[in-house]
Structure 1
Amino acid sequence: MSEPQFAVGDRVRVAAAPPYLKTAEPMPMLRPPDLIALGEEGVVVERKPGGYLGVRFERGAFLIDGQYLERVEAQSPSET
């Protein structure tokens, strides 16, 4: 099974809790994983080598391995 491909601007959801979070800053810091909730949605802001993605959530931007994320399908105007 291949890893899902994400593009900058994709909406994603946390599908599994990572063991820790790394901030997406010039000087990254490790943070506890409870800063984002399982199921929380964010937007991909950058792609990094090794399958890591910079994702902006309500509480900040974090580098997360793509294996912990799933793409959120866009809703059509009739579903809103």
Structure 2
Amino acid sequence: MSDAKEFNVGDRVRVIALPAYVKTAEPMPMLRPPNVIQLGEEGVVLDRRPGGFWGVRFAKGAFLMDSQYIEAVSN
């Protein structure tokens, strides 16, 4: 996928669209309803995961986000 966004660990990102569900960024990931995060909520990139996913820490926990659902927060 050529339009995948790249982020660095520690970057602040904002949710620009909600997926049908979110997956927790834990050793044993669980699916959660998308309402655990809010549209426009900001988080911090923790790591890069296989398949174009990013581990992102939000207020209610760390979740795996596809790059199409997040954007970098400009300072």
Unaligned 5+ runs, structure 1: 75-80
Aligned ranges 1:1-80 → 2 under 5 Å: 2-74=3-75
Unaligned 5+ runs, structure 2: none
Higher-Rg structure is 1
Sequence identity percentage: 65
Greater share of helix residues, 1 or 2? 1
TM-score (norm 1): 0.88
Question: How many residue pairs end up in the alignment?
Answer: 74
The root-mean-square deviation of aligned C-alpha atoms, in Å, is: 1.0
Any runs of at least 4 consecutive aligned residues in structure 1 with deviations exceeding 6 A, and if so which? none
TM-score (norm 2): 0.94
1:2 CA drift (Å): 2.0
